[in-house]
Amino acid sequence: METIKISEVTKNFQEGEHVVHAVNGVDITIENGEFAALAGPSGSGKTTLLNLIGGLDRPTSGEISIDGTQLSKRKDNELTEIRLRKIGFVFQAYNLIPVLTAYENVQFVLQVQGVPEREHHDRIMPILEDLGIKGLENRFPTQLSGGQQQRVAVARAVVGNPTIVLADEPTANLDSETSKSLLDLMRRLNTEKGVTFLFSTHDPMVIERARRVIRLRDGKVQADERKN
Amino acid sequence: MIPGIFPKIIFLIMILCLTIIADNAEAIDFKYGAALRQNVLLFNRPAGVDESLMPEKSIGSSSTSLRLYENLYWQGVLLSAAIETKSNFISSTGSIFSGLGSGGSLFGTSQPLEHWDATFDYITGDSSNLRTRLERLDVTWSMGAYDFDIGRQPLSLGTSHFVGVLDVVAPFAPGDPDATYKPGVDAVRLRRMVGMTGEAEIIGVGSKPWEYGAVLGRFRLLYKGVDFEFVGGRFRQRGFGGVGWEGGISDYGIWGELALFDRKENEEKWRGGWSEAAFSGVAGIDVNLPVDIKAGGALMYQDFGVRNTDDLVDVYDDAPFREGWVFLASAGYGLVTLHRQMHPLVNADIAGLVNLVDSSTLWQPMITISVGDNADMSLYGWIGTGKENTVTITKTEMNSEFGSLPTGGGFYARWFF
């Protein structure tokens, strides 16, 4: 089942008198349950493409659809709504809100989604339990270890039942051991719960863990490798 | 050291990597970088140590490490390599604290298990040395649910706290300021994730001779907010098994490690505990106090340690100390830790070890400052208290473990680029 369909997408930026083709005619289909990486050197267009998929930017031409919903014809507030309901984000360095507890950091997504408060507990606690952080819900981020913060960040990304979780260079600011544990955590959610992940990276360690590697170069898909 | 073979191996690997990169530039992913670490320590001559053994009243030591690393992914395989060149200098040739001359650890350094001696010594002197070691050269790949990792690589067991009992392959000494990179060991690892929070692993570690290596099984599980790690197997011709835990219950953080070790009757004295097996354990608790202070306390016990100070003189001849995986000499310790984030870029820590046998104490205050996007610096000190020892050329009289450790301070800086 198609989760994301990217058809003939281009994204151009005007730099002075020059037009930069950051994404240049890309066709990709991401299926439900994939664990995929957009790989390529700096400037290859992976972050731009991730921003387009996440509805943070609009393509110059072409179409992106998520769960059959086309993004190009949507107004900004509709894009925000799609982003809120269909996409989860894992940020570099987690970006937890320091004045909120672990529970409240995860709950924040449900509040913004407008999920009735009486349902919050039943939605949040199973995820915290799955991720092994049940019992820590009243702690603030500074009272959590690095690994626990990591799990809260991932819980926040998946609590809204997104169609796909996007991560832009998720290991960029992490040491190799912490990177490994974050990747393991995302991989477990993928294999055990079927959560779809797409991340951009140029880290060989991340690419080794991905089940599908889409290589970009000069804004185009150079190769699309699927592993067994 | 086999300098004849080592550079050739490195050269061949470099040629191999460059060939792969040149032939497959479009299909490989390559990342490289370096880390520079500098550790400088000034310390005084410990009380009770005879001048003939350490003529200077105060001594300086310096350690500089340059590590180059790369990660190369090609055709489903990740090749990781790191090579480290380290220079040590100590201003006295008479120091009896050799560990301090190699980077600030009061308790010396561990001897990582390795089968291939990929170390090259350029300078080996009493007061300075210069050495290059291949710290990492391993290939990683996945096959279905299984991850394989073969080659020289870092390996950590247990909870990685100030003190521990499970990390027997290549542990850091307590409070070692230069604990950024684990020394690489020659290992084969097969790992499989189990469910959402479990992980099973079989680990083989090579040594020279092979029989001193390790064969270990490890199972990790996250249960009700607590990470558990079960480890068992054989290392350095000694069977062992243990469990570690780390997590939170209510508002408290808990951690600990328990282990049982076979005894080597011919290589270590029985100093207490069971005759069949030696027990070691540590259990700790952390609590968040007002004004953002995190306080911790722990108790540690080990059958390998001494029960009276008269035995301190010869305990370091026992196998666990000689082999470099036990560092503290007494049977019982209390540990106190305090941590405070003083500023988003400044962290302060104090760790105190209390020897429960002779009441001596050792304190390590440390302030770590983030001085740039890729750099930080720690200012630290060592302060020991307790009964003085008498150490001369002809006589060593030990009255406490920490009473005659040198008091000193230093800085440890790291720059990643």
Q: Please report, in tens digits, the pLDDT of each residue of chain B (417 residues total).
A: 445 566 666 667 767 777 776 666 666 788 889 999 999 988 888 778 888 777 788 888 899 999 999 888 888 889 999 999 999 888 876 555 555 555 556 777 777 888 888 888 888 877 888 999 999 999 999 888 899 999 999 999 998 888 999 999 989 888 888 888 999 999 999 999 888 788 999 999 999 888 899 999 999 988 877 889 999 999 999 999 999 999 877 778 899 999 999 999 889 999 989 988 999 999 999 998 877 789 999 999 999 999 988 898 889 899 999 998 999 999 999 999 999 988 878 999 999 999 999 999 999 999 999 998 789 999 999 999 998 888 777 778 888 999 888 888 999 999 998
**Best CA proximity match to B42, nearest among B411, B413, B369:** B411
What was the pLDDT predicted at B154?
A: 93
Token pair in block for residue B124: 């080996």
The two tokens of residue B387 are: 């009964």
Q: Which A residues 145-174 touch B at CB under 8 Å?
A: 145, 147-148
The length of chain A, given as a count of residues: 228
Is B145 an 8 Å CB contact of chain A? yes
Nearest Cα neighbor of B47 from B390, B408, B396 is B390
Cα–Cα nearest to A113, from A91, A146, A82, A137? A82
Show the tokens assigned to B225: 């907010």
Q: CA–CA separation, A185 vs A192, rounded Å?
A: 10
| C-alpha–C-alpha distance, residues A211 and A190, integer Å | 10
Which residue is it, tokens 């020279």? B208
For the four alpha carbons of A113, A117, A122 and A126, in that order, the dihedral sign comes to positive
**Assigned domain for B53 exists:** yes
Q: A112's torsion region: left (phi>0), alpha (psi -120 to 50) or beta?
A: alpha
Q: What is the DSSP letter of B211?
A: G
Cβ distance A208 to B199 less than 8 Å, yes or no, reads: no
**For residues A95 and A168, what is the distance between their CA atoms, to the nearest angstrom?**
13
Which residues are registered as beta bridge partners of A24? A10
Domain at B389, CATH number:
2.40.160.10
Contact A136 B71 (CB under 8 A): no
Q: Is residue B306 assigned to a domain?
A: yes
Contact A133 B225 (CB under 8 A): yes
What is the rounded distance in angstroms from the CA atom of residue B167 to the CA atom of residue B161? Answer: 10
| A46, A143, A178: best to mutate for the B interface, most B CBs within 10 A | A143
Instruction: Give me the residues of chain A with pLDDT under 50, please.
Output: none
Within a 13 Å sphere around the CA of A144, how many CA atoms are in the beta-carbon half? 29
The answer, for A215 touching chain B at a CB cutoff of 8 Å, is: yes
> Does A217 contact chain B (CB < 8 Å)?
yes
Its domain, for residue B84, covers 6-416
CA A31 to chain centre: 15
pLDDT of residue B25: 65
Structure tokens at B264: 């080597």
Evaluate the CA torsion angle B193, B194, B196, B198 in order and state its sign: negative
Place of tokens 């722990």: B298
Cα(B176)–Cα(B159) distance, rounded to whole angstroms? 16
Interchain pair B26, A138: CB under 8 A: no
* Closest Cα in chain A, distance from residue B350 (Å): 18
Cβ pair A27, A203 in contact under 8 A? no
Buried b (16+ CB within 10 A) or exposed e, A129-153: bbbbbbbbbebbbebbbebbbbbbb
Tokens for B245, please give them.
């835990």
| Cα torsion angle, B28, A40, A151, A6, sign | negative
B142 touches chain A (CB under 8 A): yes
Nearest to B73 among A131, A191, A204 (CB): A204
- Contact yes or no for A132 and B292 at CB 8 A: no
| 3-state SS, residue B251 | coil
- Measured between beta carbons, the chain B residues lying within 8 angstroms of A135 are 224-225, 247-250
SS (H, E, C) B323-351: CCCCCCCECEEEEEEEEEEEECCEEEEEE
Answer whether residue B186 is part of any domain: yes
- Rounded Cα–Cα distance for residues A106 and A27 (Å): 34
The DSSP annotation for chain A comes to: -EEEEEEEEEEEEEETTEEEEEEEEEEEEEETT-EEEEE--TTSSHHHHHHHHTTSS--SEEEEEETTEESTT--HHHHHHHHHHHEEEE-TT----TTS-HHHHHHHHHHHHT--HHHHHHHHHHHHHHTT-TT-TT--GGGS-HHHHHHHHHHHHHTT--SEEEEESTTTTS-HHHHHHHHHHHHHHHHHH---EEEEE--HHHHHH-SEEEEEETTEEEEEEE--
Q: What residue of A is the nearest CA neighbor of B191?
A: A184
- pLDDT, residue B100, reads 57
- Token pair of B293, please? 């202070």
**For chain B, how many structural domains are there in total?**
1
What is residue B211's predicted lDDT score, i.e. its pLDDT? 87
Does A5 touch chain B if contact means CB atoms closer than 8 Å?
no
Identify the CA nearest to A186 among candidates A48, A174, B380: A174
Q: Considering only residues 306 to 365 of chain B, which have any Cβ-Cβ distance to chain A shorter than 8 Å?
A: 341
If DSSP codes are grouped into helix, strand and coil, which group holds residue B78?
strand
- CA atoms of A40 and B41, how far apart (whole Å): 44
Q: Which residues of A touch B294 (CB under 8 A)?
A: 143
| Chain A hits for B35, Cβ within 8 Å | none
A56 phi, psi to nearest 5 deg: -85, -15
H/E element, B379:
strand B375-385
Q: Say yes or no: A189 contacts chain B, CB-CB below 8 A.
A: yes
What is the interface pTM, i.e. ipTM, of the complex? 0.75
Is B1 a domain residue? no
Q: How many angstroms away from the CA of A101 is the closest CA of chain B?
A: 13
Contacts of A134 in chain B (CB under 8 A): 224-225
In angstroms, the first-to-last Cα distance of chain B is: 30
Q: Do A227 and B227 touch (CB under 8 A)?
A: no
Residue B73 and residue A188: Cβ atoms within 8 Å?
no
CB contact under 8 A, B250 and A135: yes
Interface test with A, best of B17, B24, B29, B78 (most A CBs within 10 A): B29
- The reply to whether residue A39 touches residue B29, judged by beta carbons under 8 angstroms, is yes
Cα B350 to Cα B234, B353, B362, B364, B377, distances in angstroms: 35, 10, 11, 6, 16
Alpha helices in B47-133 (DSSP H): 98-101
* Interchain proximity A208–B76, CB inside 8 Å: yes
A92–chain B Cβ distance below 8 A for any pair: no
Residue window 277-316, chain B: list those with CB within 8 Å of chain A: 288, 292, 294
Q: Do residues A141 and A149 lie in contact, with contact meaning Cβ atoms separated by under 8 Å? A: yes
Using the Cβ of A227 and the Cβ atoms of chain B, whether some distance falls under 8 Å is answered with yes
Residue of B nearest to A174 (CA): B374
Are residues A143 and B288, on separate chains, in Cβ contact within 8 Å? Answer: yes
Q: CA-based angle B393:B394:B397, to the nearest 5? A: 95
**What's the rounded Cα separation, in Å, for the pair B337 and B349?**
7
For residue A227, the chain B residues in CB contact (below 8 A) are: 76, 142
Would an 8 Å CB–CB cutoff place A125 in contact with chain B? no
Q: What is the DSSP letter of B358?
A: T
Superfamily name with CATH number, domain A32-47+74-226: P-loop containing nucleotide triphosphate hydrolases (3.40.50.300)
Q: How would you classify the pairing of strands A87-90 and A164-168?
A: parallel
B-chain residues within 8 Å CB-CB of A138?
251
Rounded-to-integer distance, Cα B232 and Cα B255, Å: 19
C-alpha pair distances (Å), B346 with each of A144, B229, B342, B359, B382: 18, 32, 6, 32, 20
Answer yes or no: are the C-beta atoms of A32 and A205 closer than 8 Å. Answer: no
A&B contacts, CB < 8 Å: 85
Is B222 in Cβ contact with A207 (below 8 Å)? no
CB contacts of B253 in chain A (<8 Å) are 145
Question: A21 with A10: CB under 8 angstroms?
Answer: yes
CB contact under 8 A, A132 and B196: yes
Helix (H, G, I), strand (E, B) or coil at B315: helix
Q: Kindly state whether A135 is in contact with chain B, defined as any CB-CB distance less than 8 angstroms.
A: yes
Question: Angle, nearest 10°, between helix axes A102-113 and A146-158?
Answer: 10
B 62-81 → A contacts, CB under 8 A: 71-73, 76-78, 80
